[in-house]
């Protein structure tokens, strides 16, 4: 918002205690704040006047649609924003102590908006495949054919192909094909469904002897079958069929019936998929957009069918992530390293692509779990950017502290179910008496709490937060809870070791207002840093961690130089067995973080601990199995200094005396290859020569047999 702004506060029919003077001082406003009682009703004229004069912030979200409509009717050209201080602060048992929190929320709402992020697009022309039992799939096809371009895959078995023997499915009982062939109808067992809105690839296997695409529905097979194994769904019930093959004869030259069909595989492309099977064919925690799997519940099916019509056209959504392949620790030279992002992704959007990973932006739902678990910062969440979120945190906590607030607890929550839960909790409070959120618990809305990694957590503590609580839904906790809690354990271990007493980090998974209220009031303040940090959170994860750790260590009640961490932590050292290491430098070439460096002209292996992300590439690359990892956090200047891991005596060429390689490596090579006939005599001596002398010796040795002298 611009500097020419007005804040409109309303005590909502005198249900909130608002201190206009204290808020104006905390927000550093040059003009006093007027407290309204019925801004959305009797005093609406004051809003019209304010919005006409410049940018306006209204501290009410309930009536946001009304105020937005009034501003549009008035032709206001200035920016209009909203902030919720009622359910989050004013409606609380500690409402009279909540002025610092209100000031913090208002200050954060006045910040400039985040920079726009790039987007990814979809296009859907309404080509929908309905998959499921004939009786349900055909019924929905008839209902939807006027709105969408419908196709049907009759799949009476549940789940993809492989769940039962091919051709063993029952007949299409109760599913009579329509009299008019108005849309394609196939039958078979689904092998796979992949893709996203506008680009689904569906593969299935023709499981029944009758191919519905070829069948003319002449009923000759029905009349010919002595067991009545074929109904008007034109599929053969193999449990009744006695293999007379009268149906095949009756079909004649149509050839729709083939019990020995060789070509069974089919595949087509669709914009949308309505999966009516008992078990969805795509088994992911978050299904791709355009794929609806309501199961067998009629109401859920009706809601899904109604949603299909809204998924036709062109759509855009943010590209939630940014990926820097240069520092990715996934793989090097086909040696496996870190796969954290692939393992945590609930949408199947991330896959291995050689030494890198590939992210399909149309499958990504923006959970941000990949950025949370990425040790190097190669994968970052950009909705919002860490830098934008850091600016909010810094403003929120600084304003809260300047207004006299203490022991701030930042409650991160999503914009959906968790936001509604906080509003529900506030509505049930008795202002000034009981309930609601405590005055020190400040909610901060983000797109996804799973995107809050250890850099954001430690950054918030460095900014002066006493605690950080992530409020998650049960689904979020099921998908990302373990990953988030692991990051929290690393961070808590560090701050506890530095002497910051108490529980600073908590994941709270609930959709129950009573549980949220109980846990919020049960939280005991933890020790905060003596002086709030002034740095800004960076998009570069390791940079942010560097600043946060240095600040927390500088003011630590119990300074430490070394902190032990559990396996999987993104810091640690590399240990090298000098008895087996040959200084081949394969580990140096594999390290994506420049933590391992060679000695340039000398046979040395050195290590910079602060750069190490403990990805394990060096361990998996070392041909001698001489490298191991030891997680820990090393603080102080020694963490950034080069440490000598191993050195060896240089080996001098036996011909010219020039140093090349090291003695241990050459001795190992001679020991392993010396008994081989190819290296007998002069060949063994050649192993001890530098590259130049080796070539010269080969050219000067006229008696040496070459491949050109070999006769078949």
pLDDT at 705: 55
Per residue, the 3-state secondary structure of 583-598, as one string, reads CCCHHHHHCCCCCEEE
Backbone phi, then psi, for 611, in 5-degree steps? -80, -20
Residue with tokens 């999966």: 275
Nearest to 40 by CA among 18, 57, 56, 64: 64
Mean pLDDT per block of 10 residues along the chain (712 residues) reads 76 96 93 94 94 92 96 91 98 97 97 92 97 94 96 73 37 69 92 97 91 92 93 88 92 92 87 96 94 96 96 96 96 95 96 96 96 97 94 98 97 96 97 97 97 97 98 95 97 98 98 97 97 97 97 97 96 95 93 93 91 97 96 96 90 82 74 72 78 83 56 48
633, β-bridge pairs: 563
Q: Which helix (H) or strand (E) holds 298?
A: helix 298-308
Residue 708: Cβ-neighbour burial (10 angstroms; 0-12, 13-18, 19+): exposed
In the structure, how many helices (H) and strands (E) does the chain have? 21, 32
The pLDDT score that the predictor gives to residue 54 is: 87
pLDDT for 61: 96
What local confidence, expressed as pLDDT, does residue 174 receive? 54
Contacts of 498 (CB under 8 A, 6+ apart): 552, 553, 556, 557, 558, 559, 560, 563
Quote the CA–CA distance of 611 and 598 in Å, as a whole number: 15
Q: Is 555 helix (H, G, I), strand (E, B) or coil?
A: coil
State residue 193 phi and psi, 5-degree precision: -130, 125
Could you identify the residue written with the tokens 């349900």? 136
This prediction's pTM:
0.87
Structure tokens, 618: 């060096």
Q: What pLDDT sits at residue 670?
A: 78
């Amino acid at each position: 918002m611009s500097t020419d702004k007005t804040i409109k506060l309303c005590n909502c029919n005198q249900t909130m205690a608002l201190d206009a003077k204290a808020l104006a001082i905390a927000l550093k406003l040059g003009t006093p704040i007027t407290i309204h009682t019925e801004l959305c009703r009797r005093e609406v004229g004051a809003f019209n006047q304010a919005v006409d004069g410049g940018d306006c912030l209204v501290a009410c979200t309930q009536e946001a649609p009304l105020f937005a409509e009034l501003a549009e009717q008035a032709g206001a050209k200035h920016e209009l924003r909203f902030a919720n201080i009622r359910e989050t602060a004013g409606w609380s048992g500690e409402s009279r102590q909540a002025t610092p929190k209100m000031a913090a929320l208002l200050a954060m709402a006045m910040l400039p908006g985040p920079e726009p992020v790039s987007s990814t697009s979809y296009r859907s022309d309404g080509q929908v495949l309905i998959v499921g039992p004939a009786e349900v799939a055909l019924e929905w096809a008839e209902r939807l054919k006027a709105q969408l371009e419908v196709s049907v895959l009759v799949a009476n078995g549940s789940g993809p192909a492989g769940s039962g023997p091919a051709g063993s499915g029952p007949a299409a009982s109760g599913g009579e094909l329509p009299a008019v062939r108005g849309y394609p109808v196939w039958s078979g067992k689904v092998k796979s469904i992949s893709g996203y809105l506008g680009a689904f690839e569906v593969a299935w296997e023709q499981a029944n002897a009758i191919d519905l695409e070829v069948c003319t529905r002449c009923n000759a097979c029905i009349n010919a079958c002595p067991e009545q194994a074929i109904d008007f769904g034109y599929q053969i019930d193999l449990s009744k069929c006695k293999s007379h093959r009268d149906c095949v004869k009756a079909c004649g030259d149509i050839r729709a019936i083939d019990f020995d069909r060789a070509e069974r595989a089919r595949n087509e492309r669709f914009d949308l998929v309505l999966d009516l099977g008992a078990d969805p064919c795509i088994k992911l925690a978050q299904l791709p957009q355009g794929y609806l799997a309501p199961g067998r519940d009629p109401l859920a099916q009706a809601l899904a069918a109604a949603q299909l019509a809204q998924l036709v056209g062109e759509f855009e959504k943010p590209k939630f992530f940014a990926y820097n392949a240069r520092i990715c620790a996934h793989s090097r030279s086909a040696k496996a390293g870190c796969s954290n992002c692939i393992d945590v992704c609930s949408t199947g959007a991330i896959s291995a692509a050689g030494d890198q990973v590939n992210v399909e932006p149309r499958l990504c739902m923006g959970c941000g779990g990949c950025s949370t678990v990425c040790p190097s910062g190669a994968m970052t969440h950009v909705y919002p950017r860490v830098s934008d979120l850091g600016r909010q945190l810094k403003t929120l906590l600084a304003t809260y502290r300047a207004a006299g607030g203490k022991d701030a607890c930042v409650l991160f929550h999503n914009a959906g179910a968790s936001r509604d839960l906080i509003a529900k909790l506030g509505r049930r409070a008795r202002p000034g008496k009981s309930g609601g959120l405590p005055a020190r618990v400040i909610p901060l809305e983000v797109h996804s709490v799973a995107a809050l990694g250890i850099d954001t957590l430690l950054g918030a503590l460095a900014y002066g937060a006493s605690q950080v609580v992530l409020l998650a839904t049960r689904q979020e906790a099921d998908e990302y809870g373990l990953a988030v809690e692991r990051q929290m354990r690393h961070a808590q271990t560090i701050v506890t070791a530095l002497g910051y007493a108490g529980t600073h980090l908590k994941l709270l998974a609930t959709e129950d207002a009573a549980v949220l209220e109980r846990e919020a009031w049960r939280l005991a303040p933890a020790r905060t840093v003596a002086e709030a940090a002034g740095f800004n959170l960076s998009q570069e994860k390791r940079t942010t961690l560097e600043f946060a750790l240095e600040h927390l260590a500088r003011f630590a009640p119990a300074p430490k130089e070394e902190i032990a961490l559990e396996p999987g932590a993104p810091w640690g050292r590399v240990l090298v067995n000098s008895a087996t290491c040959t200084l081949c430098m394969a580990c140096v070439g594999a390290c994506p973080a420049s933590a391992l460096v060679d000695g340039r002209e000398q046979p040395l292996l050195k290590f910079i601990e602060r750069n190490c992300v403990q990805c394990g590439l060096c361990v998996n690359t070392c041909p001698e199995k001489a490298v191991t990892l030891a997680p820990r956090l090393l603080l102080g200047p020694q963490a950034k200094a080069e440490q000598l891991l191993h050195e060896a005596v240089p080996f001098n060429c036996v011909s010219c005396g020039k140093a090349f390689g090291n003695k241990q490596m050459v001795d190992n090579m001679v020991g392993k290859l010396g008994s081989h006939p190819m290296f007998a005599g002069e060949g063994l001596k050649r192993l001890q020569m530098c590259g130049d002398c080796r070539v010269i010796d080969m050219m000067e040795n006229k008696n040496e047999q070459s491949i050109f002298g070999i006769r078949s």
